[in-house]
Amino acid sequence: MSEPSDGLAENDGSRFDRLPATAAEREVSGRATRESVLDFWEERYGIDPAIFADYTFWEKGSRKLWAFRGEIDSPIEIESLGITFLRTRQEHWKPTTDAVQRFGRHATQNVLTLSREAARRFVAGEDQEIEWDGDWGYLIVAHDLAGEREPLGVGLYLHGELRSQIPKGRRRELREVDTGEQ
């Protein structure tokens, strides 16, 4: 494959490459940086960058980012490293369900908390009409479970509608709660 005109290499989808710290250290065209990833979580969801202090960020596959707790040599050719974390191919970056479940409890903004019944429909993959006064776009969707807010996954909020982004393999038909609450 020829080099892009900016003189930077293309992503090699067969291996994990560690994200550069900043744009100045970037060697692969278009690759996100650690700085931009930390800024994304902080600006969009209010998650303190300190939460990610022990994590390194990686790209494998086109614009698919992974979070790994620890250090390891870059690049590395293995099947997976930590968890998938963030998709950066489109203009609006999209967190994964698993990343939101793992880190979303630290979020302070753009979190939409659903009733138990709405949460049940959300994890079944249904889109719902929901009132929401905040930003549009990818939200962290949560409900209250065992006394605290717990993130369910990512929803896309547009024009009064919350579109469930739970991947097909993660959707579940959960039983109705019969305690009468919520």
Partner 1 sequence: MDVLSRYEPLIDDFAAFRAACERPLPSVVRVNEIKATPERARTALEEEGVGYEPCEWHPGLLRLDTDHPGRTWGAFHGWVHGQEEVSALPAVVCDPEPGERVWAACAAPGGKATQLAARADDAGLVVANDRNLGRLSALRFNAERLGVTSMAVTNRDARNYSLDPFDFEEFDRALCDVPCSCEGTIRKNPDALDRWSLGYLDEIASTQEAILRRAIQATRSGGTVVYSTCTFAPEENEAVLDDVLDREDCRLVDFTCALDSRPGVTEWEGEHFDPSVQRAKRIYPHLNDTGGFFCAKLEVGG
Does 147 bind partner 1 (CB under 8 A)? Our answer is yes
* Of the candidate residues 84, 88, 164, 165, the single one contacting partner 1 (CB under 8 A): 84
65 vs 5, 60, 115, 166, 175, CA distance in Å? 24, 7, 31, 18, 33
* Interface stretch with partner 1, choices 3-11, 32-40, 133-141, 172-180 (CB under 8 A): 172-180
Residue type, 33: T
**60: how many CB neighbours lie within 10 A of its CB?**
22
* Interface stretch with partner 1, choices 2-10, 22-30, 72-80, 125-133 (CB under 8 A): 72-80
Q: Residue 108 in 3-state DSSP?
A: coil
* Of the candidate residues 8, 51, 72, 118, the single one contacting partner 1 (CB under 8 A): 72
Whichever of 20 and 104 has its CB closer to partner 1, that residue is 104
Q: What order of strands is seen across the sheet that includes strand 64-69?
A: 17-18, 55-59, 64-69, 83-87, 94-95
Whichever of 7 and 169 has its CB closer to partner 1, that residue is 169
